[in-house]
Amino acid sequence: MKIQLASSYGFCFGVKRAIKIAEEHRGSKTYGPLIHNKDEINRLKEGYSIGLAEKFDEIAPDDAVVIRTHGIPKNELAQLKEQNNDIIDATCPYVTTPQNIVAQMSEEGYSIVVFGDKNHPEIKGVVSYAKDPRNAFVVINEEELEGLPLLSKVAVVAQTTRKPEDYLKVVNKLILAHKEVRVFNTICNATFENQDAAAELAKDADVMIVIGGKHSSNTKQLHSICKTYCEESYLVENESELDGSWFEGKALCGISAGASTPDWIVQNVIDCIQELVKVDEVCKSE
């Protein structure tokens, strides 16, 4: 069997930046998981004494606090400032952009539509920047636009990890129904690249392994895309979840990884597959 890595996969710019920031602030504490990868969080804890506060009341006034890549709600950031915490902002710049857009557009009198998962920390943070929360709406598809009390002027942004084609469906419906629609492309370029690379590889693969956190939005999107082209696509967080039966009789195993998946976990998965089945070649797509 041959193992082929996607031409683009794994750590994106924002995650690399956040990991570097955390490593430079040994002994600090992150508010919420820094990224959606438990193994990397544990590495930071064990190697750099990076703590984790799951709830706001777990943060003491003298804690140095690293803001997660997904950002946090505006009011909580203000509370940290009031407590005089040492704030280390690792929010991905691609996430900061929709926060700023929502703040500006709501100030200018636009209804805000955010395309994404309302329960995702990134979206909770983005929506919090609206001047009037009653005039900001989160939708996961175009059907959820029905009946929303939107003004004639609408501004729309997307969660950084959503599929562009799904975003366009929401945008098209808004354009047909409203006098003025301001559309902002806030989907991350790294997401485009990883998704396109995974799709191309999945078309040829007999089995696809997508590596990443089970709670990672972009990893779940990758798995969904791979499943479209390769029915035998599996999402694993690390090598412990691999099943040898997946590779029986297969000629090509494709591998992709989410934006929060470090190279060392990818390598562990490759090593484990090589122990489970005879592998003739490991290569990366052009």
> Within 10 Å of residue 234's Cβ, how many Cβ atoms?
17
Please pick, among 40, 76, 122, 239, the residue that the annotation labels catalytic.
122
Strands 180-183 vs 207-211: parallel, antiparallel or unpaired: unpaired
Distance CA 132, CA 263 (A): 42
Is 193 annotated in the active site?
A: no
- Identify the three-state secondary structure at position 179: coil
DSSP 205: -
* Beta strands, E only, 99-179: 111-115, 136-139, 153-158
The answer to whether the Cα torsion of 25, 27, 29, 34 is positive or negative is: positive
Give the three-class secondary structure for 72.
coil
- As a whole number of angstroms, the distance between CA 271 and CA 58 comes to 39
Residues that are catalytic: 122
